[in-house]
Amino acid sequence: MITEKAMLAAVHISVWTAVKHDRKVSREVADQHGAHQGAGRYNKQLLHGAAKLEELRTLAGQIRQYFYKVTLPWSDEGFRLLPANFYFDLMARMREFEASFDQAVDAFLRVYPEYIEQVRPELNGLFREEDYPSPEKLRTKFGVKLEVLPIPTGADFRVEMSAEEQARVAREIDANVRESLMRGTEDLWKRLREVVAHMVERLNEPESRFHGSLVTNVLDLVDLLPRLNVNGDSDLNRFAEQIRQRLCNHSAQELKKHDLLRVTTAADAANIVAEMDGVLRGRESAKSEEPASADEIFAHMSAYMEAPTAA
């Protein structure tokens, strides 16, 4: 059962925006132009050029990036599907992230008073002491939290109502779970297709700059994919292994240096993309003829086949 293979997780990160709506200036601008008071708003950048605050924002982005990397889409409320075999990896990494985040907050707060004095002349008449929280209050505006929940099932539904209504709600819950699982599998197909199609695009432009990530991004994904593939899609695993064997044997530097190697690898990658598209089209065709099973990809694969590749 999927409840034994995965769980739901959400990462909550808060960083002080250092932006303040100046109502007085907004009113003055509106009056100056004869506009309605609600026609616009003036937002002040309270700490322009605060390097330590930018470091915190960068770290927040890195945390989200890693979280999205090891999870799959689930809902619009921020929860994502976390395969059980990534749980301990994520917990360990989040402890590291939280420690780094706390250290970065401490480093920012130590120089916070200096940043205030630095922007005082820059803001000039717009500067207001009351716009700046005390260091103690400001600390509460930063945080990192990981939330983990079990996947809901219809069998868990316990509310006092008629048996018929209870069965209907249980079916809806199970249907929503299946739909979300499909979305996660679709996301894996999209990730895999995009990274290979990007390789085709770059290798077909011999004058372009090749970064090491051209190959390492592919290798990273095919390493992760079998663990993320909670639906056990055999075609996904098969393509991941093909890609590893056919596209990840040479570095980006080697591909740039040797024209024949670059051309043959580009052709190999293009063939794999075509093979993937063929499988997805076959699934779309099969779906139109008969109901698909819960372990298959049900919907919108054609949209992913048409999706633009990474730039």
Answer whether residue 300 shows pLDDT above 60: no
Higher-scoring residue by pLDDT: 149, 221: 221
DSSP reduced 3-state for 247: helix
Same domain, 164 and 293: yes
Answer whether residue 60 shows pLDDT above 80: yes
Same domain, 74 and 178: no
How far apart, in whole angstroms, are the C-alpha atoms of residue 174 and residue 153? 6
pLDDT at 242: 96
Higher-scoring residue by pLDDT: 112, 181: 112
Structural domains counted in the chain: 2
Q: Are 249 and 269 in contact (CB under 8 A)?
A: no
Same domain, 297 and 186: yes
Q: Is residue 218 part of a domain?
A: yes
Helix (H) or strand (E) holding 273: helix 259-289
Same domain, 184 and 93: no
Cα–Cα separations (whole angstroms), residue 20 to 105, 111, 119, 136, 168: 20, 20, 14, 19, 48
Q: Is residue 310 part of a domain?
A: no
Residue among 48, 65, 50 nearest 107 (CA) = 50
Domain boundary, last residue among 106, 127, 149: 149
**Other Cβ atoms within 10 Å of 182 Cβ, number:** 21
Residue among 206, 215, 222 nearest 251 (CA) = 215
Sign, Cα dihedral of 201, 203, 205, 210: positive
* CA atoms in the 13 A half-sphere facing the CB of 266: 15
Residue among 71, 68, 66 nearest 94 (CA) = 66
Which residues partner with 82 through β-bridges? 7
Q: How does pLDDT run across 215-262, given as a tens digit for each residue?
A: 999 999 999 999 999 989 999 999 999 999 999 999 988 998 898 999
Residue 65's pLDDT band (boundaries 50, 70, 90)?
very high
Answer whether residue 191 shows pLDDT above 60: yes
Q: How does pLDDT run across 280-292, given as a tens digit for each residue?
A: 988 888 777 655 4
Higher-scoring residue by pLDDT: 307, 192: 192
Domain boundary, last residue among 117, 149, 181: 149
- Supply the range of the domain harboring residue 91: 2-149
Same domain, 206 and 127: no
DSSP reduced 3-state for 306: coil
How far apart, in whole angstroms, are the C-alpha atoms of residue 140 and residue 15? 9
Q: Is residue 154 part of a domain?
A: no
Rounded to the nearest angstrom, the gap between the alpha carbon of residue 137 and the centroid of all alpha carbons in its chain is 30
- For the entire predicted model, the pTM comes to 0.79
Mean pLDDT, all residues of the chain: 85
Same domain, 144 and 169: no
